[in-house]
Structure 1
Amino acid sequence: MKPIDAIKLSLTSTIRDALQIINNGAMQMAVVVDSEGKLLGTITDGDIRRGLLNNLRLEDSVETILHTTPTVATLSDTKEEILQKALTKKLHQIPIIDEEYRVLGIQEINDLIKPPTKPNMVVLMVGGLGSRLRPLTENTPKPMLKVGNKPILQTIVEKFAEYGFNEIVLCVNYKSHIIQDYFGDGSAFGVNITYIFEEERMGTAGALSLLTTLPNEPFFVMNGDLLTNINFEHLYNYHLSQNAMATMCVREYDFQVPYGVVNMEGNAILSIEEKPLHKFFVSAGIYMLDPEVIQYIPKNQFYDMPTLFETLIKKEQKAISFPIREYWLDIGQMEEYERANQEYAGVFQ
């Protein structure tokens, strides 16, 4: 067992406090206890994200997102019994309690059994022209531009490999030989890489119709020009826990109107808002899809991911969002490329 001192909260703690504990990376959860050390509930990354989507504030009490009926184990439970509880609920840690429901520690499931390499496919879209980054991309595909002394695509592949997602499919087009020559079959990077060749632009979803081996597990799709330290296992677990057909990572985007906005009814002025700030969620270019999604994608035609999600919604299939609060940068223009090089060492090293 591991001690709970670093992940312990009280009901007076805030969502921000829970966020800091989970971000520190010691464990993937926080525990809330009373003055006697009795377990009141747990908080996970998913609980925080759902709270933020429901417009809760970081300064709100943890009580607003507390899971009050967590799965627990006792000291008398055998290893097999603890594993069974964890596997049934897809848990990574389980609080260990005594007869008075006081928390004695946290059992890390990985300490009981080391999971095998995950079978989930990772499809990376790396065939773009990178026109807005010319002249850098005249002779180099955008995913092969170096940030932090290595190609953007290498950082992406290595981040997936950190979480055990080693089955990589690269959808290539523009100057694909450069990518193939660098990565080969992926063995030098500890992964297995296969390639899909787009003879013409198919779109983020359309390229999936070219898969020669169809996935039989939920799989990732991601644009190859992103830098992020998102926890891919959190995304995977969130997708499973929601029983979703498709999950889209979203990023909060703020836009401030540079003028006073006049609210009117007819010609009557009702109010004036001075330079209001509007907040939106935008697609972050990272997705988790169930294999059944592929049946909704037409063959041999351009089909982008927003269209796929619109189709799923019309078909009443469950399409959900996963808010990203970790580092994320879409390297689409020179300004973002320069920013990526400035920030890389502080985020990824």
Structure 2
Amino acid sequence: MKVVLLAGGFGSRISEQSHLKPKPMIEIGEKPILWHIMKYYSQYGFHDFVICLGYKQYVVKEFFADYFLHTSDVTFDLANNKMEVHNNYAEPWKVTLVDTGLNTMTGGRIKRIQPYIGNEPFMMTYGDGVCDVDLKGLLKFHQDHGKTATMTTVNIAQLKGVLDIDEGDVVRSFREKDEADNSLINGGFMVLNPEIFSYLKDDTTVFEKEPLQSLAAEGQLMSFHHNGFWQCMDTQREMKKLEDLWQSGQAPWKIWEK
């Protein structure tokens, strides 16, 4: 199953860092947060990634093109124009990097990667948030209910899309954030059936507006409630919080050995 990562936005709320690189490439523990998300998925056996790029896309492409330079010791033999990579461990990843446009909205980015997905369900999340959600449990929940979309929901006072969920975990409505909200919110980490593409019109489509609202109105959007750790990285303060967790050895999303 493919994992789609949205990594093309401007990251304007953390402009102290994002003026130099895309927000998903901002580092936690000397590795991009995008890498952390991919490592997490990989631990559950999901190794095939499709990354939606836009703003400063070359930074992401160069990271993967020179991956061993970022992760291994190297010896450069300048006289003979050779490079030797030492301890060249590499994750079992297949990474497809797609230019989805500089100003394309989230739904438009997903629409653009349809040729790389085919007629199969896929996972999707944002390239700026980590958690310790049970991805196998999430997938089983999605497969069991048979609806078009499953969204991981978290109960945190954050400015994200707000949900009304009934006792059967069906999302009855989806609306944009409000500063007074302290409700269940969209935590990303979704599973989507290929029918989702019919809800996406063009580059101007905001996934979190009409598509999710329509799915909710039709009873096709389900909630997988997560009570554990979840944290996005919208601000410098949130970046520092994640960095502190990593440096303390208490990062809940780090479930790998190396």
User: Which segments of 5 or more consecutive residues in structure 2 lack a partner in the other structure?
Assistant: 68-88, 159-179
1:74-89 alignment runs, 5 A limit: none
**Within 2, Cα distance between the matches of 1:208 and 1:185?**
26
Q: In the alignment, which residue of structure 1 is the partner of 2:234?
A: 332
**Within 1, Cα distance between the matches of 2:120 and 2:129?**
24
**Within 2, Cα distance between the matches of 1:185 and 1:294?**
33
**How many Å apart are 1:288 and its aligned residue?**
1.1
**How many Å apart are 1:317 and its aligned residue?**
4.6
The answer to whether the Cα contact below 8 Å between 1:227 and 1:330 also exists between their aligned partners in 2 is yes
2:109 to 207, 212, 215: 207
Identity of aligned residues (%): 25
User: Which segments of 5 or more consecutive residues in structure 1 lack a partner in the other structure?
Assistant: 1-119, 256-276
**How many Å apart are 1:234 and its aligned residue?**
1.3
**Within 1, Cα distance between the matches of 2:191 and 2:107?**
12
Aligned pair 1:122/2:3, yes or no?
A: yes
Structure of larger gyration radius: 1
**Within 1, Cα distance between the matches of 2:137 and 2:57?**
31
**Within 2, Cα distance between the matches of 1:230 and 1:161?**
13
Q: In the alignment, which residue of structure 2 is the partner of 1:176?
A: 57
The answer to whether the Cα contact below 8 Å between 1:185 and 1:194 also exists between their aligned partners in 2 is no
Alpha-carbon RMSD: 2.3
1:346 to 225, 250, 257: 250
Which stretch of the first structure deviates more once superposed, 208-217 or 244-253? Answer: 208-217
2:140 to 231, 237, 246: 237
1:26-45 alignment runs, 5 A limit: none
Q: In the alignment, which residue of structure 1 is the partner of 2:206?
A: 303
Q: In the alignment, which residue of structure 2 is the partner of 1:152?
A: 33
Greater RCO structure (CA 8 Å; 6+ sep): 2
Distance 1:318 1:193, change over 3 A: same
SS of 1:168's partner is: strand
**Within 2, Cα distance between the matches of 1:210 and 1:185?**
26
Aligned pair 1:293/2:174, yes or no?
A: no
**How many Å apart are 1:215 and its aligned residue?**
3.3
The answer to whether the Cα contact below 8 Å between 1:225 and 1:330 also exists between their aligned partners in 2 is yes
TM norm structure 1: 0.55
**How many Å apart are 1:122 and its aligned residue?**
0.6
The answer to whether the Cα contact below 8 Å between 1:121 and 1:215 also exists between their aligned partners in 2 is no
> What is the identity, as a one-letter code, of the residue corresponding to 1:346?
Q
TM norm structure 2: 0.74
Q: In the alignment, which residue of structure 1 is the partner of 2:127?
A: 224
**How many Å apart are 1:279 and its aligned residue?**
4.6
1:197 to 90, 94, 99: 99
**How many Å apart are 1:127 and its aligned residue?**
0.9
Structure 1: 4+ residue segments shifted above 6 A: none
> What is the identity, as a one-letter code, of the residue corresponding to 1:237?
K
**Within 1, Cα distance between the matches of 2:127 and 2:107?**
14
Aligned pair 1:136/2:39, yes or no?
A: no
Deviations 1:73-132 (A, max 9, x none): xxxxxxxxxxxxxxxxxxxxxxxxxxxxxxxxxxxxxxxxxxxxxxx1111001121222
**Within 2, Cα distance between the matches of 1:185 and 1:325?**
37
**How many Å apart are 1:205 and its aligned residue?**
2.1
> What is the identity, as a one-letter code, of the residue corresponding to 1:193?
V
Number of residue pairs matched?
A: 208
Deviations 1:258-304 (A, max 9, x none): xxxxxxxxxxxxxxxxxxx9851011122211111111211333322
> What is the identity, as a one-letter code, of the residue corresponding to 1:245?
T
SS of 2:117's partner is: coil
Q: In the alignment, which residue of structure 1 is the partner of 2:85?
A: none
The answer to whether the Cα contact below 8 Å between 1:245 and 1:317 also exists between their aligned partners in 2 is no
> What is the identity, as a one-letter code, of the residue corresponding to 2:99?
F
**Within 1, Cα distance between the matches of 2:66 and 2:118?**
19
**Within 1, Cα distance between the matches of 2:33 and 2:146?**
32
**Within 1, Cα distance between the matches of 2:242 and 2:24?**
13
**Within 1, Cα distance between the matches of 2:182 and 2:119?**
37
**How many Å apart are 1:332 and its aligned residue?**
0.1
1:245-284 alignment runs, 5 A limit: 245-254=148-157, 279-284=182-187
SS of 2:28's partner is: coil
